[in-house]
Each structure stands twice: as structure tokens, then as C-alpha cells.
Amino acid sequence: MGRDDLVISARSIFLNKGNRQKFSLLTLIIVSLIVLSLEYFKTGPINQFRAVTKDAVSKTSYFISLPFLTLKNAYYGVSNLLKSNEENKQLKIINLNIEELKFENQFLKEENIRLNALIEEKRLFSDNYHITKILLDQESPYLRSIVINKGFKHDIKIGSAVRSGPYFIGKVVGVNYLTSRVLLINDLNSKIPIIIEPNGTSAIVSGNGSKFYGDIEYLPEKNQVEEGHIVYTSGADGIISSGIPIGKITIKNNKKFVKFFTDFDQIKYVKVYFKK
């Protein structure tokens, strides 16, 4: 290929708009580079514009994906219905003394409040939460995350804990005006300080991409952690409140994992905590 040929080809590719093209490739690549470089501005009007754009795209994507979501929910609805009969039989066998457990829980909570007051422990964490819908739950190789329908208009801040029912599922990593992104606990980048009860062993639970299990890091070599022990958030980071159940310990090939209580495929609504 001659040098002139190459120059003619390059000119034709980058500058010619071609049939039914409104923009040349060079123009669009330059625009993309400018848009990418704007990522450096984390405050000010550019950040606000980006937040509004993200809100608009998230909401539009949600409305477009509604028919597909309906199909997905119908599938899970039918499969849950098929399972429920079997579950019902099992629940009848297990003697669940819920009333007694409720009173015990109430007593322990009140005792905890009294003891905290005695040692003048300051309450760092908020009990205020919004129940919100999940707008998007696309899986990405880089992020296991969801987009929720609450943003900084609703006092959501980066780091806020997110629960599905009573269980911890992740924390807020990005806040827009009306929507926020939640990094799920099973994401590769997620590191959550935990406490394993009943022995009170501290460690870190780290995501590995699996929907069912999480890795446990920094577990002491001589630990008494056994299968079935319950994993809670420890609150050691000062952002996520302590005592939120995450999962239970399971041992596979002499390695300890956390088996999550939550089925990440079936989350529709979450609780997101906020401080005013």
C-alpha cells in the first residue's frame, strides 16, 4: 500500500460523511474525547448536567425495559408459585415461635439502647430510610450494580447502606439528582467490614461476581468460625450501621465463604438509608 493511498484512505474514513451520514467520524471522535475529559469535573454545573443526563437515560431505559421486566417478573412469579407449595409444607414442619422471638428481640433492643446511654455512645447511624424501586439492574463485567429511584433530592449520600428486606445488599456509590447507583455486595470492588457471630470475629467480605457466595478476607488464622454462623455488618467503616445481616458461613473445600441471604435476581424494591 502506497503512502498516498493510505492518506487518501484516512481522509476518506475520517472526513467524508458518506451516504446518509450526518457527522464525520473525526468530529464524533473529538466530541467523545471532550465528553470523556469532562469526567474530571466532579463539581459545578458540568457535574449537575451529567447528573441530569444520567437521570434522563436511566429513567428512559427503565421505561423501555418495562415490557422485558414484566416478562422476567412473570417468569420468577411462576417459578415461585411452583416452589411455594413445597416451602409451605416445610414451614408447617418447622415450629417457628415468632411471637417469642419478637419479644426477645424487643427486649434486647431496649437493653442495647440503655447500655449505649450508660456508656454515652453517640449514635452515628440513621434509622431513616426510603423504600425505592430499582430502575436498572444491568450486569456489567466491571460493576455489579443497580440504579435506584432516589437521588440527592431525597438526601441520599455516597456510602449510604442499602437493604433488601432485612438484609444488607450494598452501598450507594454514585448519586444523581433523582437516581443513585448502588454497588452490590457481590461486586469485585465491594469490600464490607463484617462481624461473624456468635464468636464476634471481624473480617471483610469481598465480592467475587458470584450471585450466591462472597469471599471472606482478613479472617484470623486461628478462628472459631463454623458452618452456619451468621455474618453481619460490623459498622467499622463508620458509614454503614452495624448488625445488618448479610448471610451465613458455608465451607467448600476447606475454604470459608458467605452465602448471601438475598437472591440478587429477584430484588424489586430496596430500602436506602439517609441522614438529614
Partner 1 sequence: MSLFANRIYSKTITSLPTLILFLVVILGLNFNIIYKNYDFIINLSYIIVFFWSLKKPEHLGYGLIFFAGIINDVVQSLPIGISSIDYLLLSVIGAFIRNRTIIYNLIYDWISFFIAILIVGSINYIILISIFKISIVYESLILGLFVTFLIYPIFFKIFVWIDNMVLVRENDKKNR
Query: Interface residues with partner 1 (CB under 8 A)?
Result: 1, 9, 12-14, 18-25, 28-29, 31-39, 50, 53-54, 57-58, 60-61, 64-65, 68, 136, 138-143, 145, 174, 181, 188-189, 208-211
Least spacing, CB of residue 84 vs partner 1, in Å: 28
Least spacing, CB of residue 155 vs partner 1, in Å: 22
In the chain, which ranges are E strands?
129-136, 145-148, 161-164, 167-175, 180-184, 191-197, 201-206, 213-217, 230-233, 245-252, 255-260, 269-273
Least spacing, CB of residue 272 vs partner 1, in Å: 17
C-alpha cell read off for 134: 430499582
CA-nearest of 148, 126, 124 to 136 is: 148
CA-nearest of 167, 151, 155, 104 to 126 is: 155
Q: Which is nearer to partner 1, 55 or 201 (CB)?
A: 55
CB burial class (10 A; 0-12, 13-18, 19+) of residue 95?
exposed
Q: Which is nearer to partner 1, 183 or 244 (CB)?
A: 183
Q: Which is nearer to partner 1, 192 or 195 (CB)?
A: 192
Q: Which is nearer to partner 1, 138 or 224 (CB)?
A: 138
Task: Give the integer Cα–Cα distance in Å for 198 and 224.
Answer: 10
Least spacing, CB of residue 158 vs partner 1, in Å: 13
Q: Which is nearer to partner 1, 4 or 120 (CB)?
A: 4
Cα 256 to the center of its chain, rounded Å: 22
Least spacing, CB of residue 55 vs partner 1, in Å: 9
